[in-house]
A and B are shown apart, each in its own frame.
Chain A
C-alpha cells in the first residue's frame, strides 16, 4: 500500500527562525513529489515539485530536498514569517498518476 508519512504533526517556531519538515514515503513506482501549502480554510497551493532525478528545489524561502534512494523528502523554511503559518502537505505521485497525500504538518509562527 502506498503511504506518505509526515513529521512532526505540528510545530511552533518564533518569527525569523528556521524549521524543517519531514516526509517519508513508500510509493512505488515513483514519479514525482510535491509540497503544498494550505492556509486554514483554503485549498492547497503547490510550492515545489521534484522528480526522481532532482534532489533539491527552491521557491523563495522554501527549499525542498529529495532522497529517492531512502524515499525521504524534507521542506526547509528559512527566516520564517507569520504568513508561513499553515499546513504543509507532502504529495507523492506514482507513474500511473495516482496521488498519495500525507496528513500534513501544521506550522505556527509566533511573533
Chain B
C-alpha cells in the first residue's frame, strides 16, 4: 500500500521547545516537500529536497530545519526560533520533475501543531 505517512497527527509544544515532525513515503519518489497551511492562506513552501543529502530553503524557512538522510524520510524540526509555529503542516513527494509539465505532488495527511 503506497503512500505518504505523517506523524503524529496532533502535536502540542510548549514555547521554547523544538519539535520534530515525521514524514515517510514508500512511493520511491526522489523529491519531498514541507508546506505550512494557515487559515485563509495558500500553502507556503518551507523546505524541499530533490535528492538524498540535499535540500533547499523554500519561501518561509526561518525557524525550521530539515534533513534528508534516506530517500524515504524527510523530517521537519520546528525550532524555538519560529515565532508563530501553530499551523497545519503538510508533507508531499513527487518524482523529480514529474515529467515536463506533470509534476503532481502527493500529500500526506498532515500534522497539526499547536503551541501552548
Residues in A lying within 8 Å of B, measured CB to CB: 4, 9, 31-32, 34, 41-46, 49, 51, 89, 93, 97, 99-104
Let me know if A43 and B109 touch, CB within 8 A.
Answer: yes
Smallest distance from the beta carbon of A24 to chain B beta carbons, Å?
13
Report the bound CA distance from A93 to B102 in whole Å. 9
Residue of B nearest to A3 (CB): B42
Let me know if A49 and B97 touch, CB within 8 A.
Answer: no
Report the bound CA distance from A23 to B4 in whole Å. 28
Interface footprint category on B: 20 to 34
Report the bound CA distance from A44 to B47 in whole Å. 18
Give the dominant DSSP class at B's interface: loop
5 contacts between A and B (CB under 8 A): A41-B110, A43-B92, A43-B110, A99-B103, A101-B44
Let me know if B102 and A32 touch, CB within 8 A.
Answer: yes
Contact of B101 among A9, A51, A104 (CB under 8 A): A51
Apart from A97-B103, A102-B42, what 13 extra A-B contacts exist at CB < 8 Å? A32-B101, A43-B92, A43-B108, A43-B109, A44-B107, A46-B104, A49-B102, A49-B104, A89-B42, A93-B103, A97-B97, A99-B103, A101-B42
Let me know if B90 and A43 touch, CB within 8 A.
Answer: yes
Let me know if A99 and B105 touch, CB within 8 A.
Answer: yes
Q: Enumerate B92-116 residues with CB–CB distance to A below 8 Å.
A: 92, 97-98, 101-105, 107-110, 112
Q: Enumerate B37-57 residues with CB–CB distance to A below 8 Å.
A: 40-45
Residue of B nearest to A44 (CB): B107
Let me know if A42 and B102 touch, CB within 8 A.
Answer: no
Residue of B nearest to A39 (CB): B109
Chain B residues near A100: list those with CB within 8 A.
42
Smallest distance from the beta carbon of B49 to chain A beta carbons, Å?
14
Report the bound CA distance from A97 to B31 in whole Å. 12
Report the bound CA distance from A102 to B43 in whole Å. 8
Contact of B107 among A9, A32, A45, A93 (CB under 8 A): A45
